[in-house]
Each structure stands twice: as C-alpha cells, then as structure tokens.
Homo-oligomer: A and B are copies of this chain.
Amino acid sequence: MTSELVFWLAPAGVIVGLLFAALFYRDMLRQDAGSEHMQRIGGHVQRGAMAYVAQQYRIMLWVFLGLGLLFTLLSFGFGVQSRYLPALFLAGGAFSALAGYVGMQTATRASVRTAAAARHSLGGALRVAFRSGAVMGLVVVALGLGNVLAWLLFATAFMPATAEQGGGLVLITTTGLSFGMGASLQALFARVGGGIYTKAADVGADLVGKVEKGIPEDDPRNPAVIADNVGDNVGDVAGMGADLFESYCGSLLAATALGAAAWSQDPVMQLKAVVAPLAVAGLGILLSVVGVFIVTTREGASQKQLLASLSRGINVSAVLILLASAAVLHGLGITNPWGLWGAVVSGLVTGIVVGRATEYATSPGYSPTRRVAAQAEGGAATTLIAGLGAGMQSTAIPVLAVAVGTLMAFLCASGFDIEQLNVGLYGVAIAAVGMLSTLGITLASDAYGPIADNAGGNVEMCELGPEVRARTDALDSLGNTTAATGKGFAIGSAALTALALIASYIEVVRLEMLRRGETVLLMESGVSIELSVASLQDFMAYFNVTLLNPVVLAAMFIGSMTAFVFSGMTMQAVGRAASAMVDEVRRQFRENPGILRGDCEPDYASCVEISTLGAQREMIAPALLAVLVPVATGLILGVAGVIGLLSGGLATGFVLAVFLSNAGGAWDNAKKYVEEGHHGGKNSRAHHAAVIGDTVGDPFKDTAGPSLNILVKLMSIVAIVMTGVTVGFSLL
C-alpha cells in the first residue's frame, strides 16, 4: 500500500459515510408510519423537537454572528490564524448544528415507524431503530472528517506559506483548531440546553403526573408527556451528537496539529503524520458501515440476544479497525508505525474498558446498583448516601483506564522515551482518534436509545396491545444499557480529546510569538533558544509551567473549582426549569378537569415552550462561565496559568463527570430493579425511596455530568483561540 492510496481512505470514508446515511434515511422513510393516531402523536413530538431546534438555532445564530464579528475585528490585531478564524468558527458551529438537525429529523420520524414496525416483529423494529440511529452516527463522523479534510485541502492550496521551515502545515493545522471552537460552543448549547430541557420536562411530568395524580409514565393525559418525549431527542440525540461531533473534530484537529509540530523539521514525515489520523478515521467510517450491517436479529430474540447482536456489530468493527489500521500505518510509511498502532490500540481498549466499567457501575445485574437498591429499604436518605458513595467509588476504573491508556499511548508513540514529548503527545491524540474511530457505529447504538424510548411512548399513548408494548420495552431496556456505555464512551473520549487540545495549546503559543516577531526564548540561565526549534520542554521551562509555580497551582485550584461551580449551575438550572414545568402541569389539571378524565387533549405545546424557554435562559450563565474563566485566567495569570487551569479543570471535571453519570445511572437502574419486584416492588416503601434517588440522579446523569464533557473541551479550545490576546496582554 502506498502512502497516496492511504490518504484516499479519508475522502472515501466521508463519501461512503454520507452515502449510507442517505440510504438508511431513505429506507426509514419508506417504512410504514403506523395508524393516523400514531402519526398524530409522532407529529406532536416532531413539531416540539423542531420548535426547540428553531428557537435554539435562532439564539445560536445571533451568538455566532456576534462572536464572528468580534473575531473579525480582533483578527486585524491578533494572529495570522485569526484571519481564517471567523469563517472556521462559523463553519464549526454550522456543521455541528446541521448534524444535530439531521439526527433529530431522523430520530423523530424513526420512532413512530419503529412503533409501527413493533406491531409486527421485534427484528423489524430493531432494524428501523438501529439503522436510523446509524444515520446520526454516520452523519456526525462523515461531516466531522469531511470538514477537517476540506480545511486542509483548502488551506494547502490558498494559505500563504511562511518563511519558517515546515511552518506551512503547522500553521494550517493549528489554525484549523478554530473550527473546533465553533463545534464546541454549539455543543455547549446543545448539551447544556438539551440537558436542562429534557430533565425539566421529565421531572415535571413525573412529579405531577406520576407522583401527585398517579397516572402512568407516557400517559397521553399528562400535559408534559410530549415535552418529555421531545426531551429524549433534544438531550440524547442532538446533545450527545454535538458532544461527540466536537470530540471527533477536536481529536482529529489536535492530532494533525501535534503531528505537524512534531515533525516540523521533516516535511515528508510531517505530511504522513497529518494524514495518519485522517486515514484511521476514514477507515473507521468504512468499517462502521460494515458493523451496522451485522446488527440483525430474529423474532423472539431475548434481551440478551438483542444486546449480543448490537455488541457484535461494534466488536466486529473494532477488531477490523484494529487489524486494518496496522496495515494502514505500515502502508503510510510513517516512522515507528507499530508504536502509533500501539497508540490506536490504547485508545480503542480504553474506550472499551470505560464502557464496560460504566455498565458494571450502573447495571442492575451487578452488585453496586443492587446494593443501592437494597439500601432503598432504609428510606430515601440511605438510598441517596449509598448512591453517592457508589458513584464516587465507581470513578476508580474509568479514571485508571484513561490514565493508563494515555500513558501507554504516549510511551508507544515515543518509543518509550518520556523525553520525546512532541511525538508522545501526538500519540495521545492518535489514541483519541483511535477511540473515536468506531464512533459511526457506537453513536448509532446511542441514538438508537431515544428512538426506542420514544417508540415505546408512542405505543403507550396510542394504547396498542401489550405484546407491542413488550417489544418496545425490550428495545428500550436495551437502549438503557447502550446509553450507559455511550455515556462512558463520551466522557472517556472527551478526556483524551481535552488532553490533546491542551498539548496543542503550546504550539499555538509558539506561532503567536513568531507572529509577534519574537525569534528566541531567553531562558533564565541566560541561554537563548531559537523559537522555531525550541522543544516543548523548553517552552515549559520558559513559561515556568512546573507544579511548584504558585501560578500553576492557583490556576489548578481555580480549574477544579470551575468544574464544580459549572455543575452546580446546571443542577440548579434544572431545578428552576422543572419548577416552572410543575406549575404549568398543575395549572392545566386544575383549570381543565377534562384532561384527567381523558375527555380532551391537554395543551402539549405550552409545556414544550416552557422547557424550551427554560433551557435557553438557563444555559447562558454556565456558557459564560466556561468562556470567561479561561480568558480571564489567561489575561491575569498568563500561559502557565492557562495550562494549570486546563489541567486542574480536566482532572477534576473528568472524575466529577464519571461520578455524576454513574451515580445517576445506578439510581435509575436501582429504581427499575425495585420495580421488577425486589425489596417490595412497585409502590413499596423501598420504591418510593428509589424514585427519589432516580429523580436526584436525573440532572446528575443527563445534565451536569454530560455538560462537563463539553466544559473540559471548550475551556481548552477557548484558551487556544484566545492565545493572541492572552499572550500579548497577560498581567503575570
């Protein structure tokens, strides 16, 4: 295999990915959309989702245009890369939004068709739901890789080369990181807004409907039921998609930037280092498509068989990528191909371990969740203490896995030489790319979850037969498992991506200093080192980025604290938005008694609007925090402070995210375990306690936890984009 051939894997992946996404979408639309009643309910959900999207995108448009203008103005003063910054920033936001839009359009249309298919067979319903999920998965990866590729091709053709040797590709790749800023900001709005939306609707629907009025889940008489179903799409489809779109683009961009920087003295190897992550990603898309076709099942399959079928698809893709990437890296003729392959493997294995650990921590089949369920007999307080304790302890394995994975990736890529920071950190970015190479199919199984969930809602609201409900329940329950692993995967990949972004930061600093006409680093010892050949260690020494520098330590404290304060803000936001929802549902029941009798349809739209507005209003403060803290730290504490902030924020944010997600997942499944008849079953004292645990866990696992994924990445990328300002004007 020659290196030119390898390059073509990337565009091939993009084209094939988009092609199959279109095919799966067309296939889905051709399916039977069910009875008129089913379509009416589905229409409510779809309109609600689109209302949310329209509202959010309208706000986003103004934010992006405002920031784009700001960046344009700043570009006159700061940075070579800032000339392209506004366009890249807007493109990042726009394509992330497009991916989210396609995903939501598909999911809302697919759920009613899944429900319709479930009237006839389980296998058919699985097929509709999963392939529709694959639309989202493939669109995200194809658009992500396609954009990175397009930027590189465009810039190679049109961007002026600089005098610096090898500077062309370094400049091009680091400039490309601005694309990540757009994707990241859009992800913040989608994840935080979506998280607030979905939990406000869920808590509101449950507290009044289930608890106060005693009507079942997904009952059409509940005014918040449509908002609740919309929330699944808004949070788990659009939010998760934007989150992983950002990780995907971020890891690719960081890998290209670090690769270009590591081999800046050797143009041939440099090009290969930039191509390698793109080729691995392209390969991943192609083999994800293969995996999607493996997921099938026959009628009467048990829950276990369904899960096995899904797992088989993902596992086959992963193993094929493992094997093929070895060939690809060899064919590329890059230095140390086995070492880089080791990095790919580290990433893939870390992703699998984190996913499994999440499943262990949250599945009712294992002791942690069962112990939480057992404590429910002692009441709400013991349930909560047990869940919080279990969540904290559950951080051990995922964090160790990422720590070991990072270290292994670094060591493999650097030939076990810890001094080779450049190449080693490139290896860490490659590990992130490796982990995300299966994203096409893992995201398919994530997006499948809310589709199955909504299909169940549709079946319930249309009062179809119990055997239909049993089929959608089986699909839904499977979706809960994939959602748990998906969450672990999202957290793990966010951590690796953020690490790679932090590593890229210093390359951007170097470029900014070159732009300012600085040519040497003047070291404390009096030695001067030429900027263009200065190693990362030299930069670290120059900026005094050691763990005894009080600036670094103080900034680390602030980073840790930011993760907690950000989580607290999103938790409080859910509380406030849910209160508004509770008031509205109570009002409708009070003012129109016909609703509860089933005589007339409740006003679904007003609940959708309350969740939408609440989400928009409440996401402003956390968004500002995430953007302003790195800018302020950079302005006051300088480069050393920024790196301290980002590391502290990442270390704490990552562990906190695992804790919140796993505690929430454990409570959720402990409740389900009790409902299955354990510890007294439904409506027992233990059940009431478990419901309280689940309600507390909702904002943990669906709002605060996932939002932290965005925080750690967004802070890094804001720091990168703001380098021009912070390097020029920092106080210290």
Q: Which of A406, A546, A571 has the most C-beta atoms of chain B within 10 angstroms of its own C-beta?
A: A546
Instruction: Mark the stretch among A38-46, A172-180, A470-478, A550-558 that contacts chain B.
Output: A550-558
A-B contact pairs, 25 of them (CB 8 A): A378-B579, A380-B380, A381-B692, A381-B696, A382-B575, A385-B572, A385-B696, A389-B568, A392-B568, A395-B568, A402-B557, A403-B553, A418-B544, A418-B549, A419-B524, A424-B550, A425-B550, A537-B546, A547-B552, A547-B647, A553-B651, A557-B654, A557-B655, A564-B656, A564-B659
- B-facing mask of A523-565, CB < 8 A → 1, else 0? 0100000000000110011001111111111111111110111
Q: Are A554 and B407 in contact (CB under 8 A)?
A: yes
A101 interface residue (CB < 8 Å to B)? no
A70 interface residue (CB < 8 Å to B)? no
Q: Are A655 and B655 in contact (CB under 8 A)?
A: no
Q: Are B554 and A395 in contact (CB under 8 A)?
A: no
Q: Are B565 and A393 in contact (CB under 8 A)?
A: yes
Q: Are A568 and B393 in contact (CB under 8 A)?
A: yes
Given A568-B392, A569-B389, A659-B564, verify A499-B553 contact (CB < 8 Å): yes
Q: Which 5 A-B pairs have the closest CB atoms?
A: A392-B568, A389-B571, A381-B695, A393-B568, A540-B546
Instruction: Report chain B residues within 8 Å CB of A499.
Output: 553
Contact for A575 among B207, B389, B563, CB less than 8 A: B389
Instruction: Report chain B residues within 8 Å CB of A399.
Output: 557-558, 560-561
Q: Are B560 and A654 in contact (CB under 8 A)?
A: yes
Tell me the minimal C-beta distance from A648 to chain B in angstroms: 5
Interface residues of A in 697-722 (CB under 8 A from B): 699
Instruction: Report chain B residues within 8 Å CB of A400.
Output: 558, 561
Size band of the interface chain A makes with B: 35 or more
Residues of A at under 8 Å CB distance from B?
203, 207, 211, 375, 378-382, 384-386, 388-396, 399-400, 402-404, 406-407, 410-411, 418-419, 421, 424-425, 428, 495, 499, 502-503, 506, 524, 536-537, 540-541, 544-561, 563-565, 567-569, 571-572, 574-575, 578-579, 582, 643-644, 647-648, 651-652, 654-656, 659, 692, 695-696, 699, 732
CA distance A557 to B502 in the complex (A): 15
Given A375-B575, A547-B547, A547-B643, verify A557-B403 contact (CB < 8 Å): yes
Instruction: Report chain B residues within 8 Å CB of A654.
Output: 557, 560
Tell me the minimal C-beta distance from A534 to chain B in angstroms: 12
Tell me the minimal C-beta distance from A732 to chain B in angstroms: 7
Q: Which of A402, A547, A575 has the most C-beta atoms of chain B within 10 angstroms of its own C-beta?
A: A547
Q: Are B548 and A389 in contact (CB under 8 A)?
A: no
Q: Are B386 and A575 in contact (CB under 8 A)?
A: yes
Please name the residue on chain B nearest to A384 by beta carbon: B696
Q: Are A547 and B384 in contact (CB under 8 A)?
A: no
Please name the residue on chain B nearest to A693 by beta carbon: B381
Instruction: Report chain B residues within 8 Å CB of A380.
Output: 380, 692
Instruction: Report chain B residues within 8 Å CB of A550.
Output: 406-407, 410-411, 418, 424-425, 428
